[in-house]
Amino acid sequence: MMEAIHDVYSKLNGKFKGDLLRPKDDGFEEARVIWNGMFTRVPGVIARCADVTDVQAAVRAGFESGVLTAIRCGGHSLAGFSTCDGGLVIDLSKMRQVAVDADARRARFSGGCLLGSIDSATQKAGLVFPSGVVSHTGAAGLVLGGGTGWLTRRFGLSCDNVEGFTLVTADGSLVRANSGENADLFWGLRGGGGNFGVVTEFEVRLHPLTSVVLVEGYAADVRRTLELWREFMPQAPIDLKWNLDLRLAPQSPDVPATLRGRPVAGNSLIWTGDEDLAERYFTPALALCEPGSVKIRPISFLALQTMADAAFPHGRRYYTKSGYFVFLQDSTIDSLVEAVATIPSADTQIELAYLGGAAAAVEAAETAFGDRSAPFIMNLLANWQGAAVDHIHISWVRTLFEKLRPAMKPGVYVNFMSGDEQDRVPEAYRSHWKRMVAVKSHYDPQNFFRLNQNIQPTTG
């Protein structure tokens, strides 16, 4: 590996326009850090590309030298896939251009963009690209895996709004994928993660929206909230998104003193339709929330997109497991209520969202995204500090997951998986699996792009 990584450096040195960083170089320590503090790996070279030609050169050098290569956009992979020990990291963080065509309601953005850079650019034209809920998340990893967020019910998954990709494949070629060119690759890239190449540009559809109505509030009766939510959401209009976070109520002046530190259901609802109709759809949730905890307000789209940023800081330790439910059975609700009472960290959350809406209206075969038929999506997200207590938090997640699993629909959203779940990758794609393997085998037969929820090629 040592010799191979020297070879990569020599191949790039002199012609690379971006930054080439090795362990003793200034800036290397900052550059090697990714969001999840569980992963402190030390790459041999970080190639921070200035443009597409740099990406091609880095891919060719990594491929020819046979070094383990990680691709990084925002570095938010929960599984730690955007770094590696001793290998090459192709870092796209200098490639954050966004071009908006307001009349056509289209945008093009580069492969290193964070969600926040896209939101800021599109909002200047009063338009949105439906993406995730934390603005410091990388767009490339999120969109390639699917992409869920506040606007999923209204406008679909992020990947449903992509019209075309430009990517560098394992041999260094620049390839376009859209409905008319490389259609199989276009299909695979919408849900298949980073398996096929380094995406240098996304072409996407935008929608008009500048503000929403937001309700937030804590309910002490977790069971009743879950029961009401499971009955209410299947009939709700697509303008309503109602997320639940089961957790210990924060020790914050915003939370009534009687609730702080107690198990609660955190309710966050947005309404994207006619403001006058909002209240009628908020009423059931409001009836369960502690009145002193309720905030109801119109909020700009940019404020909505950044309001959770501070809750998920860089450098803490995170571990996740995720799954889908067709329906929340009473026994599942019992387990969730018990689990929230034993949560080992004040920052850990059981995140629950109801998809459906525009995301469910897209035909299953149209994209590689795993499952659109089970609307209840759950993410167990442990969040703590200190390596000495890793086992407590990881084991809480694993135990709860095993308990809930029999009631789940097999399947998992690849962006909510940890790095120890390779055995679940076929489960994530289920009916799409054979086609995914065929696309992977065609575009990356040697499995050069393998630091991802990996689809192994048949020829690799």
Ligand X SMILES: Cc1cc2nc3c(=O)[nH]c(=O)nc-3n(C[C@H](O)[C@H](O)[C@H](O)COP(=O)(O)OP(=O)(O)OC[C@H]3O[C@@H](n4cnc5c(N)ncnc54)[C@H](O)[C@@H]3O)c2cc1C
Residue whose C-alpha is closest to residue 230's, from 338, 409, 353:
353
Binds ligand X by CB under 6 A, chosen from 32, 48, 76, 154: 76
Q: Report the residue number, 259 or 312, with the smaller CB distance to ligand X.
A: 312
Report if residue 332 touches ligand X, rule: CB under 6 A: no
Name the residue nearer to ligand X (CB basis): 134 or 436.
134
Whose Cβ is closer to ligand X: residue 84's or residue 220's?
84
x/- binding map, residues 379-418, to ligand X, per CB under 6 A?
------------------------------------x---
User: Min. distance of Cβ 36 from ligand X in angstroms?
Assistant: 7
Number of residues assigned to the chain: 460
Q: Which residue has the tokens 């200190």?
A: 386
Q: Which two tokens stand for residue 143?
A: 């969109």
- Among the listed residues 194, 263, 266, 323, the single contact to ligand X using CB under 6 A: 194
78 binding ligand X? (CB under 6 A): yes
Residues 96-125 binding ligand X (CB under 6 A) are 111
Cβ(121)–Cβ(70) under 8 Å?
no
Instruction: Find the shortest distance in angstroms from Cβ 233 to ligand X.
Output: 18
Bridge pairing between strands 45-48 and 88-91:
parallel
Please count the other Cβ atoms lying within 10 Å of the Cβ belonging to residue 262: 15
Contact (Cβ atoms closer than 8 angstroms) between residue 207 and residue 455: no
Residues 183, 438 contacting (CB under 8 angstroms): no
Torsion of the alpha carbons at 435, 440, 445 and 447, rounded to the nearest 10: -140
Smallest distance, ligand X to C-beta of residue 137, A? 5
Which of 46, 59, 133, 151 is the binder for ligand X (CB under 6 A)?
A: 133
How many chain residues touch ligand X (CB under 6 A)? 35
451 binds ligand X (CB under 6 A): yes
Nearer to ligand X, 259 or 371 (CB): 371
Binding flag, residue 148, ligand X (CB under 6 A) = yes
Vertex 108: Cα angle to 106 and 113 (nearest 5): 130
71 binds ligand X, rule: CB under 6 A: yes
Q: Which stretch binds ligand X (CB under 6 A): 40-48, 99-107, 126-134, 436-444?
A: 126-134
Q: Which stretch binds ligand X (CB under 6 A): 136-144, 285-293, 355-363, 433-441?
A: 136-144
Give least dist CB 162 to ligand X, A: 12
If one asks whether residue 268 binds ligand X (CB under 6 A), the answer comes out as no
* Footprint (CB under 6 A) of ligand X, residues 290-319: 312
Candidates 94, 93, 69; CA nearest to 83 is: 69
In the bound complex, what is the minimum distance in angstroms from residue 341's beta carbon to ligand X? 25
- Quote the CA–CA distance of 410 and 152 in Å, as a whole number: 21
- Name which of 102 and 362 has its Cβ closer to ligand X: 362
199 binds ligand X (CB under 6 A): yes
Binding status of residue 72 toward ligand X by CB under 6 A: yes
Query: Segment near ligand X (CB under 6 A), from 2-10, 190-198, 268-276, 341-349?
Result: 190-198
Closest to ligand X by CB, 73 or 206: 73
Distance CA 397, CA 270 (A): 28
**Footprint of ligand X (CB under 6 A):** 35, 71-78, 81-82, 92, 111, 132-134, 137-138, 140-142, 144-149, 193-194, 198-199, 312, 415, 451-452
